[in-house]
Structure 1
Amino acid sequence: MKIALLGYGKMGKVIERIALERGHEIVLRKDEFNTYDGLSTADVAIDFSVPSAAVSNISASFNANVPVVSGTTGWLEHYDEMIALCNETKGGFISSSNFSLGVNIFFGLNEYLAKIMKQFDSYKVSMEEIHHIHKLDAPSGTAISLAQGVIENSNYANWTMEEAKANEIQIEAKRIGEVPGTHTVNYDSAIDSIEIKHTAHNREGFALGAVIAAEWLAGKQGIFSMKDVLNLQ
C-alpha cells in the first residue's frame, strides 16, 4: 500500500517506521517546507500534522481522490466542511482524537460505565488528562471524546475547564514533561470513588492504530470511525 504522510514530526516518523515494517511504501512526507507532490499516487493519506494545517491536508487529499486517516486535533470547527467535501468527492474518511487500540477500548468502557452511573446521581464525574508540554490544544481531543461519550449516555449536558455546574463535566488538562498521554475518568461521591484510567507508555500505540486504520480504509468510500475498524459497534 502507498501511503502519504501529512505531517512529518515525531508521530509522522513513528508512523513511517511502523508502516515500512508492515510492508508499505511512503510516497510523500509532507511538512511545512514541501508541496503535495506525490499525493495523487497514494492509496491513503495519514494526517498527523498541526491544527492550522489539517484542513488543507485533508482537503488536498479528498481533491486528489485519496482517502484520509486524520489524527490531528484542534481543528474540529471545520469538521462539517470536511465531511461535506468528503461526500462531494466520494472520498473515504476516518477522523479520531486517538487511534490507540487501547484508548478505543477505553472509549467503549467509558460509555458503558456512564450508562451504569446514570442512575446514581450521588456520584459526580470529572476528568483529568496529562500530556507532554509540546501539545498545542487543551483539553486533548481524547478527553473531549471521553466527555462526549459520557454526555451521550448520561444526564450531563456539557464539559468545561472551569468549575463545573451540576450538569457539566470538569476536565483538568495538565502539560508535564514528555508524557505521551494519560486520561482518567473519576466518579466521586461522599462515600467512595470509582476511577478508570488509560496510560500510554509511548507513541507506538497511536501510530500502529493509525496504520491499521489506513489499511482498513484503503479502497473504501464513506465516513467511518475506529469502532468500524475494530468492530466495536
Structure 2
Amino acid sequence: MRILLIGYGKMGKTIEQMALSKGHQIAGTIDHTNAGTLANYTPENTDVAIEFTHPEAALGNISYCLKSGIPVVSGSTGWLDKFDEAKQLCEQNKGAFFYASNFSVGVNLFFHFNEYIAGKMQAYKEYHVSIREMHHLQKVDKPSGTGITTAEGILAHYPNLHGWVGDDDTQKDKLNIISEREPDVVGTHIVTYSSEVDKIELGHIAHSRAGFAEGAVMAAEWLKGRQGVYGMKDMLNL
C-alpha cells in the first residue's frame, strides 16, 4: 500500500520503519514544515493516510482525507470534543475512518480487561478506583487519550461517578486521573482499586513505540476496502 504519514515526529518515523518492513510504500510525509503540501495527495497516489499530529491540527487533516476520498487512520488525541464532526464527515463522504487513542494490541486488551474488572468491582463499594498515567515530557495532552479511554471503560459501570477529573482536582463523585510526565517514559497506565485492607491493580507498561506503530499499520491494512467509522474493537473483534 501507498501510505501517507501526516505527522512526522517520533511516532511518524517509527510507523514509517514498520510500514517499510512490511513491504508498504511511503507516499509522502507531512509535518509543520510542509503542511501546505497535503493538497497534493489524492486517491490516485495514496491508498491510506496515517495521522498522528497535535490536537489543533487533527480534525483539519482528517477532514481533508475524508473529503478527498483517502481512507484515514488517526491516533491524535486531545481533540475528541470534535469527534462527532469527523464521524459526520465520514458518513457524508462515504469514507473510511479508523480512530484509536492507542493502537497497541496490548493496550486494547488492557481496555477490554479494564471494562470487565470494573463491571465486577463496582459491587464492592469499599474499594476506591483511580487511574494513574505516565508519559514522556513531550506529551502535550494531559491526561492522555489512553487514560481517558480507560476512564470511560470504568465510568460505564459506575453510575455513582459522574465523569472524570485531572490530578489538579479531586471530587467525590468523579473518577480521578493522575498524570505524570517524566523523561524517557513511553507510556504507563495503571488502574487501582484501593480499600483499607488491600489494593488491586491492573496495568499496562509500554517498552517502546513499536507496538503502537505495528497496530497503526495493521489498522491501515484492515481499513482498505471498507467504509464507515471503526476502532480497535472492530479490528480485534473484542
TM-score by length of 1: 0.97
CA distance in 2, matches of 1:63, 1:33: 23
Residue 163 of structure 1 and its aligned partner are, at CA, apart by 4.1
Q: Which residue of 1 aligns with 2:163?
A: 158
1:183 corresponds to which of 181, 189, 212: 189
CA distance in 1, matches of 2:15, 2:169: 38
Q: Which residue of 2 aligns with 1:194?
A: 200
218-227 vs 149-158, which moves further: 149-158
Q: Which residue of 2 aligns with 1:38?
A: 41
SS in 2 for 1:120: coil
CA distance in 1, matches of 2:49, 2:42: 8
CA distance in 2, matches of 1:95, 1:39: 20
Residue 118 of structure 1 and its aligned partner are, at CA, apart by 1.2
202-211 vs 50-59, which moves further: 50-59
1:170 corresponds to which of 151, 172, 176: 176
208-217 vs 159-168, which moves further: 159-168
CA distance in 2, matches of 1:191, 1:163: 26
Aligned length: 232
1:117 corresponds to which of 111, 114, 121: 121
CA distance in 2, matches of 1:125, 1:89: 41
CA distance in 1, matches of 2:59, 2:28: 17
CA distance in 1, matches of 2:225, 2:26: 17
Deviations 1:37-68 (A, max 9, x none): 23432111100111121111101100110111
% of aligned pairs identical? 49
TM-score by length of 2: 0.95
CA contact (8 A) 1:98 1:206 kept: yes
1:211 corresponds to which of 191, 196, 217: 217
CA contact (8 A) 2:42 2:69 kept: no
CA distance in 1, matches of 2:14, 2:228: 27
SS in 2 for 1:128: strand
67-76 vs 157-166, which moves further: 157-166
Residue 3 of structure 1 and its aligned partner are, at CA, apart by 0.8
Q: Which residue of 1 aligns with 2:5?
A: 5
2:133 corresponds to which of 113, 126, 129: 129
Residue 178 of structure 1 and its aligned partner are, at CA, apart by 1.7
SS in 2 for 1:130: strand
CA distance in 2, matches of 1:39, 1:134: 32
CA distance in 1, matches of 2:171, 2:13: 42
CA contact (8 A) 2:133 2:147 kept: yes
Q: Which residue of 2 aligns with 1:76?
A: 80
CA distance in 1, matches of 2:28, 2:226: 21
CA distance in 2, matches of 1:20, 1:209: 14
Residue 78 of structure 1 and its aligned partner are, at CA, apart by 1.4
Residue 32 of structure 1 and its aligned partner are, at CA, apart by 1.4
2:228 corresponds to which of 205, 214, 222: 222
CA contact (8 A) 1:43 1:219 kept: no
CA distance in 1, matches of 2:197, 2:169: 22
In the alignment, structure 2 segments of 5+ residues that lack a partner are: none
Residue 165 of structure 1 and its aligned partner are, at CA, apart by 2.8
**Does 1:98 pair with 2:102?**
yes
Residue 30 of structure 1 and its aligned partner are, at CA, apart by 0.8
What is the aligned-residue RMSD (CA, Å)? 1.0
CA contact (8 A) 2:114 2:153 kept: yes
Residue 101 of structure 1 and its aligned partner are, at CA, apart by 0.5
